Structures are given as structure tokens and as C-alpha cells.
Chain A
Amino acid sequence: MKLAYWMYAGPAHIGTLRVASSFKNVHAIMHAPLGDDYFNVMRSMLERERDFTPVTASIVDRHVLARGSQEKVVENITRKDQQEKPDLILLTPTCTSSILQEDLQNFVERATRQTNSNILLADVNHYRVNEFQAADRTLEQIISFYLDKTMQLQEEIRKTEKPSANILGIFTLGFHHQHDCREIYRLLTDLGIDINQIIPEGCFVTDLKKIPEAWFNIVPYREIGLMAAQYLEKKYNMPYVSITPMGLVETASWIRKIARILDKNYEKYIDQQTRFVSQAAWFSRSIDCQNLTGKKALVFGDATHAASMTKILVREMGINVCCAGTYCKNDADWFREQVQGFCDQILITEDHTQVGNMIAQIEPAAIFGTQMERHVGKRLDIPCGVISAPIHIQNFPLSYRPFLGYEGTNQIADLVYNSFTLGMEDHLLEIFGGHDVKTVITKNLSTDENLLWNLEAQTELQKIPGFVRNRIKRNTEKFARSKQIKEITVEVMYAAKEALAG
């Protein structure tokens, strides 16, 4: 048992449902108790989805607990088959239903006999994998199911005439996925490459048989799509590009990787885009960015975005990343390898309090993280740019905001610059006697606070400019602890200052 307030990655079935509802005409039926269909709310609200989310629950209630689902699941499947005529119905176990140990595969087989749709049972262990791993696996499962099915009939795979690519891993509820997808499309069009299939967003499962017609696969995000790409490489000899084209340097290596696959030369295009089309290269030379040199930042998020962001901040903007971290524990090795040499320390954790304490400890000038880090930033008065899921509705912007490709580099430059200047502005306000009077001084995140600041000392602390206040507070407390002082007075503050100065 684990005491938890917040989690970065959702439970497995969320991943499976994200795959199912990204496809067109695929319906997911969850074997779940009442209330577990919260996914529908998220999709309808966060994505502002106009259509009904194709997810229903076959409710597990007291009766099911007592007698088993019996006909219920099969009935729900056949009913959905008749009502909506989906191509595929994906039966999705949840954490609750997986401990009931009902033979869901048997339901699938029974239902298959009565339906026109294909029926699949999502092959996911709810206690071992998280949302991303489950999505990765489900995508592979669906692709291999349809390829195995059709390839027996087909004699030979015909590649498209023009070079073409599949994009694997554009999802509903993905962080800026729709925008990224459009940006990749633009890039590929510039390079004279067609898109064969975008999978799974907006794709029909009946079209999956065309996957092998593409020349290669693109996996923009590490978390979801890699398993499918590896499967396709093994089975159909399709090369894939798993570099994330985020930032100027990585976008260039992404294009070069494609160039190698197609045996082409895109150097001129890269140079033109980097220097003149994207503003990011010029931005990093401009005076604004010079001011950011050596500023401290902390980066935390999924493996893809946190690694890319770290590299952009350090390599392309000269910012000092004190700590880079990810919650994708299963991908820790890859992450370490990516950010090695780009940051002072690496943090791999799923515990948000650990991230919060790290932020409180190093006090960066800006944070680039998830919504959780944004809130930590609020409490500590540190600006935060959101770069990764988990996210809120404001991270599903209506306007065009890719993180990938050349337009993505512009967006990221804005995000970084705005975070830092806002921070500066704040400090200047405080130095010149700012407009708000803050009375809260305990902004520390740790709960083992046992030191008492007397009123006078608190007032004294308030007089210290905001951007050094925390440091002075902490140093004083450190000093007090070392001297076994319980109550902090103005004298103690001065003594601490003197001790440190000496």
C-alpha cells in the first residue's frame, strides 16, 4: 500500500481507451463498476469533443459480484454491434474487473459468433503497467491483429510510388498531439514525402492493412507507438524514426535520419529552415536570450518531452538545467542516456512530493514541467511552463501550438522566454517596493517544520527581497538547527548571516 495524492500516469485502462477512441468506428466496452467511465468526461471536456465518446461500460455491480457477468457482457457487446455497427469492439478490463478473474476471453469468443464487428480483449495487466505502456501495447495488439488477418490473403506488399510514411502515436488526450501532427505533415510535405497513415487518430481499423505500403514509420513520442514500430520492423522490414523532432538540433537529426532511409540529401532545407524560417536560432543569438545564460531551470515530465526540453534549454539557449527528471520509470535508462551531460542531476520518480521538494531545494528561476509542477511553482513563486502531460483544459489550446518541428521551436522559444521574463518582472517589482504585501512566509514544502519564527523575525524576513528571501530563510533555519535553536529571532537571523559570511 502506498500513500498517494497525485499520479503522473493514469491507470492502464485509460491508455487502452485512448487508443480505442482515437480510431474511427471502434467502440470500447469497459468491464467496470459504475463511475469508472470517467474517461468520457475527460475526453468530452479536455478535448472539447463534439462526438459521443465511443466508450460504454458493462457495469459490474453486486449481482455480477455474486453470480458473475454471465450473459451481461456478451449482451452489451452484441447490442453495441447492432446499434453502432463498429468495425471493432475492444473489451477493456479495469483494475476492479481484473481481480474478479472472469474469463473475458471466453465472452469475446462467444460474442464473436454473433457479431459483424471484430471483438478483441485488451491484453493489459492493470497492476503492472500504466497508461502509456497499456496504450503502447494495445496499439500494437490492434495493428498486429489486422495485419495478421489480412496478410494471409494478400500475396505481396506493394510500396507506394512516392516515398511515404506512417505516423504512429497520435492520440486523443495527447499533449498537443493534433498540432504536432499537422506540423509533421507540413515538414514531410516540404521534404516531398506523403503520409500513408496516421495511426490511431482518425484512422479506420479496416485501413490498417495498408500500413506496410509506406516506406517507413515515424514515432514522434517515445511513450506510445514504439512497440508497434518495432513489431512492423521485425515483421514487415519497415525502418522507423524514433527521434522526436523537438528543438532545432533534434529536428535536424530527425530529417537526417529520414534522409538516410530514403537516401536523399536535405541539408539545404535544414539550413534554410534553421536560420531563416524558424526564429529560434536567431532568438538564441539575440540579446534577450543572452540574458537567460546560466539561469537555473528544472525540467520534469514524460520521457519524450523532458529529455527534448532539457536538450533545447541547454544546447540551444544556454540555460543551466539543474535537474532533469521523468516519471516514466520504465524508460529510465533511455532518459538517463539522453540527458547525461546536459544537466547537473537526474530525478526519476513517480512521487510528486519528491519533485516539489527538489524544486524547493534548488529554487530554479523557472520550471518546465506538468500541471503539478505549475502548482508547486505557484506556491513557491517560481514561473512554470507546462511541457508535458498530465495537463488541464488550458493545455488543449484552440490555436496552433505544436511542440515539434520548426514552428514548434518558435512556440518553445516563446514559452521559455515568457516564463523567464515574467519571473524577472516579478522580482523587479519586489525590489522596487512592489504592489503587493505578502504575509505568508512559510512556503516550504516539507512538512517536518518544527522551527518557530517569532513575529519580529518574520517582519524582518519580509523586508528581504523576494528572490533571496527563501534562501535566507533556509540558511537561517539550517543554522538554527545546527545550533539546536528552536525559536528564530532577529538575533538568530543576524548570527546565521554572520556565520555564513565568515
Chain B
Amino acid sequence: MGTLKFECETGNYHTFCPISCVSWLYQKITDSFFLVIGTKTCGYFLQNALGVMIFAEPRYAMAELEEGDISAQLHDFDELKRLCLQIQKDRNPSVIVWIGTCTTEIIKMDLEGMAPKIEEFIGRPIIVARANGLDYAFTQGEDTVLAAMAHRCPEYAYHALPTFIGQVTPVREERPIRDLVSPLVLFGSLPNTVAQQLTRELEHQGIHVSGWLPEARYEELPELGAGVFVCGVHPFLSRTATTLMRRRKCQLIGAPFPIGPDGTRAWIEKICQVFNKTPQNLDERESNIWKNLEEFFPLIKGKSVFFMGDNLLEISLARFLIRCGMIVYEIGIPYMDKRFQASELQLLERTCKEMNVAIPPIVEKPDNSNQIQRIRALKPDLVITGLAHSNPLEARGITTKWSVEFTFAQIHGFTNARDILELITRPLRRNNHLKDLGWAKLVSEAAEKA
């Protein structure tokens, strides 16, 4: 069985630039506007990665840096002020989020210094997040934005008590302290329906979710402060977690992430434990979900998976797939926060033991070209990878699933466990349909060796 093994490679791997987080965050926070301060390269990436979204008048734009900006011939303060005024006039958002990029890092543009002044000038909050490719990968972009946003949440005051109807009632002096229920704030951006599902799941256990970071509107950000419990729903939110603990004095509930029925159950259990509740009907709830997934098992049992790693969801997904009976050869991951993911890692270890499979190596900052060598040697049944490698691998007869889909699909909670397996089995089902045609490999022998 072994124990968890961590490796680290060269970091020459393919992933999305973290500025891609604007694509789902502007949709989530409906009164926001995202301004990406960067070059043509950033703009080109966004316009191509976002595909048709770009045509839907998105609430995001590029502040495209020109040669004059780089060489400091133009005054960046005036330039940003001008653009923000225009945005305020055209779109009237409740908040403008500045996304710092590689270029603003290199030319050391003082975004954090300028924001408060421009904020005062336009009378609109400006949040600065440095979601750049020098420091972060893909989904970590959301982490930088939420960490910055955590500073803007109103202060939680002890004297105010949230009630179940969502009203705030002042506490009277005579009320005994033990009646105080600590508020619970969940962090991580999820589509509203999924956030609602998780909120209800906890409500069934008698736990009230007093808010989400982020909420659907900027103006509804939850109160934070000492005495507030926080719990994450995504594995890539370690900066946000740190900010919530250190700067906002919240108490972090370290739990596995609510991905897959096993993860969701463990997540709820952990929260229940903190709030001193005995979980109700959780066994039944989980086993019903597993029963619903049964039709997928014949397709995946005993099949092998290789995660090349690009979005930090890898540990949770691998853990769920192992529970489903799959064998994981390698878990590539851009960045591994062993503290934030501690419970998830424990659950992975336990799952491997219970399913009686070897614990897969966790490869941080992977090297794609080494990984492709390993994939060729191991011949996994499924490779979960980015779009840069999908088609070339498929042409070589190796089945792939596009990893970015897991970031955009609804995969959290009991309700959406099915969607994960829909995604995972889609290429396998396709294979079953086409298996007798005899043209699985579609490159020449020479090209295959190359």
C-alpha cells in the first residue's frame, strides 16, 4: 500500500493562465467588472479560451498596455483612472476587480497603491488580485481574487446574531453566551444552484450557512471576523484560507472537499463535528447516491487513470475515482498545499487502503514531456489532460478526457456526483461505440515513435 509520496519535476507543463478565472467569476458576481491589466498576449488568451462568451458583452475587459506604458512614458495612474471612469460610466458595476498580470509584476506597477486613490475618485470599490502566470496556475486565479475580496467583507460583530430567516437580531444582555451560534461562511465560487444545493445539504443537518465568499452580488458579501467558522469547497483556495485565518481571524474547518459522494459526506461530517451535531441520514443519503451511480461502474472498474495535472482538482477527483474502483497511476498537480489539503490527502490515503490499491505518486510541478514518456510506458486507460495534449494522445490510441471541463462542469455535492462520472465515462463510452472499426491509432508508425 505504502504511504503518500510527493515528487516535484521541472514545472514545464501546460495549463491555463490564472487570468482565466475572470471567465467564471464575472458570471458568478453579477454586479462586478473585471479589468485585466496586461498585454495583447493576455487578451488573446482570454478571447480564445473564453470562446463564445466573448461575444455576449462580458463584464470584463483588457487594459492593454502599450509601449508607452511599459517605458513609463505614460502615467499609469492617469491611464487607469481614465479607463475606470469609462467603465463606471458605461457599465456602472458595484465593484471593479483589477487583475494584475505578469507584465504589471515585471514593470512593478503599484496596483495596490493606486487602487485606493482611484477608488476614492470614482466612488466605487476597486479590488486588486495578482493572478499572474509567474506565480500561479489556472484555478489559483480564483484564489487570488477571493483572498483579495476577503478583505472587503464587512466585519462580523459579536452583538449581532444571524437567525434562520437571515435577519440580524441584536443580542440582549441577559441572553446566555452558550446560545450564540457561530456563523459559518463557505468560500469558493460555485454556480448559484450548486451553492444552493450545498447550503441545503448543511441545513438538513441543522447547520445554517450564513454566507458565501463570493456571493452572487458583491454587495452581499458575508460578514467575517473572530468567531466565524469558514470552510472551503475547492482544493485550490489555500491563499484565501490563509487570509481568512490570519487577517480576518476566522476559524478554518479543514475538511475533504465536497466532490463525489464520499467527499461530500466527509465534508458534511467534519462540519457537523465542529458544530457539535450528529449527522442525520448521512449513511442513507450517501448510499443512495452510490446506488444511482451503479450503471457507470462496469465501465470504469479496474480501469487505470493518469492525471497530467493542471487545475488542482486532481487529488479530490483521484480520490473519488479510486473509490469508484479505478486505479490511478499518477496524480500530477501544479501546486500542492499539504496543510490546506491535509484532510483530503488523509481521505485519499484511507480510500486507497480500503480499496486495496497502491497510493499513486503525487507529482507537483510536473514535466509534460516526461509524463508523456510515462504515459507511453504505462498505457493507462484514460489520461486526464489539457487540450494541448488531448488530440495528439487520442491519435496515438490513448483515450483522454479534457481536464478543463471539470472546472466548468457542476461537480460538487451529492447531486452532481453523476456529472463527474458522465464526464469520465464519455470517452470510454465513445470507445465502446467505435471499438470494432479498427482505426484507434491514427498516426503513422514513424510519427508515433517521434
Which residues does A use to contact B, with CB under 8 Å?
1-7, 10-11, 13-14, 32-38, 40-42, 44-45, 48-53, 56-62, 65, 76, 83-84, 94-96, 99-100, 126-128, 130, 372, 375, 378, 390, 392, 447
Contacts and interface: CB of A to CB of B under 8 A. Distances in A.
Interface string B66-77: 110110001010
B355 interface: no
Given A34-B136, A126-B39, 16 more contacts: A3-B87, A4-B43, A7-B43, A34-B15, A34-B17, A34-B137, A41-B48, A41-B49, A45-B391, A48-B391, A49-B391, A49-B392, A52-B389, A76-B12, A84-B450, A127-B66
Contacts of B440: none
Given A34-B133, A44-B389, A50 B447 contact: yes
Given A1-B80, A50-B395, A128 B134 contact: no
A41 B137 contact: no
Contacts of B55: 372, 375, 378
Interface centre among A5, A57, A65, A126 (most CB of B within 10 A): A5
A99 B70 contact: yes
Nearest to A47: B391
Contact of B134 (A33, A49, A378): A33
Report, nearest first, the 9 A-B pairs whose CB atoms are least far apart: A35-B17, A33-B133, A40-B388, A50-B395, A375-B55, A1-B79, A11-B40, A127-B67, A35-B133
A59 B63 CA distance: 24
Contact of A1 (B17, B69, B389): B69
A76 B369 CA distance: 12
B47 A6 contact: yes
A40 B14 contact: yes
Contact of A96 (B87, B102, B443): B102
A37 to B, nearest CB: 6
Nearest to B76: A1
20 contacts: A2-B62, A3-B62, A3-B87, A4-B62, A5-B60, A5-B61, A7-B40, A33-B132, A35-B17, A38-B45, A41-B48, A51-B447, A59-B11, A65-B105, A76-B12, A95-B40, A96-B39, A127-B67, A375-B52, A390-B47
A291 to B, nearest CB: 31
Q: In the complex, which range does the number of interface residues on chain B fall in? A: 35 or more
Contacts of A40: 14, 388
A48 B442 CA distance: 12
B64 A1 contact: yes
B251 to A, nearest CB: 31
B63 to A, nearest CB: 5
B75 to A, nearest CB: 10
Contacts of A53: 388, 392
B4 interface: no
B41 interface: yes
Nearest to B45: A38
B30 interface: no
B391 A5 contact: no
Contacts of A58: 12
A59 B391 contact: no
B388 A57 contact: no
Contact of A14 (B44, B61, B132, B442): B44
Contact of B41 (A49, A52, A94): A94
Interface centre among A1, A35, A100 (most CB of B within 10 A): A35
Nearest to B133: A33
Contacts of B86: 3
B257 interface: no
